[in-house]
Structure 1
Amino acid sequence: MKIIIYVYDGMTMLDAIGPYEVLRNMTNAEVLFVAEEAGEIKADSGFIDINVKYSIDDINYADILVIPGSPVGFMKEMEKENILNWIREIDKGTKWTTSVCTGSILLASTGLLSGLKATSHWKPIKLLSNFGAIPVRERIVEQGKYITAAGVSAGIDMALYLSNKIVGEEETKAIQLTIEYDPQPIFDSGNYSNAEENVLKCANKKLTRDAKKGLGLLGMLKNSRNILKMMK
């Protein structure tokens, strides 16, 4: 089973690595990281780089496509017609097309989620409606072969959800144990609906800071006002 994770500059690393750690453990899984061009991809933090061996020109088929998100990098990808066309072409042959965080907005910009429910990170989730998708604040949303996950850590849950569909409960439980995924957070503040107002304000500040950092990293400062306005 060929699993493709599309990666790009400014990507949030856990959006890709979380699902990777789950899906690579499935029986007969082959996981490939693919970028617009082979070579170095910089994460949104600016601290981590990954060396990608495959470009979109090398890959024309996948059983599973995973599109991770980013603070602002996904917006740059949405402007690339070659990327949107590649996603559409890969989607024609997939059994499952999935996303994590704002990856769903990139996916929606192809038109593939038009008329379907989808989720994303809680801050920019409303942008889904700009592309005909129906935003819902849920951790995982399945619509036919499309599965979208909420922000960052939800990618692990999405991958386990998908694994259960493909290899079944016993193997998926074994995968969960293999990565010792047993979340026990000290606070119940990981869900938008549970967040206190002061926590929400603090999180917004952090996200705005990260978005500005990403704008600089990606050379998108010219359009920064419009981009940040869209993210509100």
Structure 2
Amino acid sequence: MLNPTPLSIGLLLFPNLTQLDLTGPYEVFSRAPNTRLHLIWKDLEPVRSDRGLAMLPTTTFDGCPPLDILCVPGGPGQVALMEDEETLAFLRRMAAGAKLVTSVCTGSLVLGAAGLLQGYRATSHWAALDQLALLGARPVAERVVRDRNRITGAGVTSGLDFALTVVADLYGEEVAQTLQLHMEYDPAPPFDTGSPRTAPTAIRKAAREAVAPFTEQRRQATLRAAEKLKG
């Protein structure tokens, strides 16, 4: 069912995010009927992703209009956001009036730090999934998880699945299926190693060891955020 007025969708664009967490959903949402997308940050200066891609915000916290959908991507910069009171306050303010409050990858930890996932089922990147419980959420190891008006996607590439799920909910499955066809989103990965459930033991062990130092840094930020929520 098409909306009579444009659907306002806001994606948080912050330093050191993982760009595909944002650009995957952006690609899907921008193709949906009658949408208006906003890339939101504190100012309008270029923002660099964790891999160096520069992107331009289109609006600021102060200038952001009311949103129908709020989406928070993830990435290494998520750690700093969990203790950024200006950002957390903005997310709480936008979430109060949004129809859907959503995230991709470790963006769910930012929602959690803002107190927006307490009592909700949610997912995140496999390396951070367990940390959701520290913030009052119920971790679910699925690619897309919906609980009431909270929709969360797992790691990075899950953003496409997440966004198509949102479009199907809002516009119907036929619209979402048509978008998927136009995008030729027909995954056939060369290796069956995209999940801890399927990756060989040696690869899974090496991947966990590689991210262990940063995972611990993220966990400490999550623990601090959890303490603030208790207060």
**TM-score grouping bracket, smaller chain normalisation:** 0.7 to 0.9
TM-score of the superposition, structure 1-length normalised? Answer: 0.87
| Root-mean-square deviation over aligned CA pairs | 1.8
Q: How big is each residue's C-alpha offset from its partner over 1:144-202, in whole Å with a ceiling of 9 and x where there is no partner?
A: 00001100000100000010011111111111111111101122111221222111133
Equivalent in 53, 59, 76 of residue 54 of structure 1 = 59
CA 1:116/1:229 → structure 2, altered by over 3 Å: closer, same or farther? closer
2:15 equivalent to 1:6: no
| Structure 2 partner of 1:221 | none
Alignment CA distance shift 1:89-1:229 (3 Å): closer
Paired residues, what number? 215
1:133 — aligned with what? 137
Structure 1, unpaired ranges of 5+: 212-224
- Partners of 1:98 and 1:176 lie apart in 2 by 20
Q: CA deviation at 1:122?
A: 0.3
**How far did residue 143 of structure 1 move?**
0.6
- Write the distance in 1 (CA, Å) between the matches of 2:99 and 2:42: 22
CA separation in 2, counterparts of 1:158 and 1:142? 10
**Normalization by structure 2: what TM-score?**
0.88
Superposed counterparts of 1:38-187, under 5 Å: 38-46=44-52, 48-70=53-75, 72-187=76-191
**What is the identity, as a one-letter code, of the residue corresponding to 1:227?**
Q
Q: Residues 179 and 207 (structure 1 numbering): CA distance in 2 closer, same or farther, change over 3 Å?
A: farther
Supply the distance in 1 between the matched residues of 2:155 and 2:219 (Cα, whole angstroms). Answer: 20
Separation in 2, partners of 1:15, 1:226 = 21
The answer on 1:204 being equivalent to 2:204 is: no
Matched letter for residue 52 of structure 1: P
Amino acid at match of 1:14: L
Partner of 2:39: 33
Identity of aligned residues (%): 35
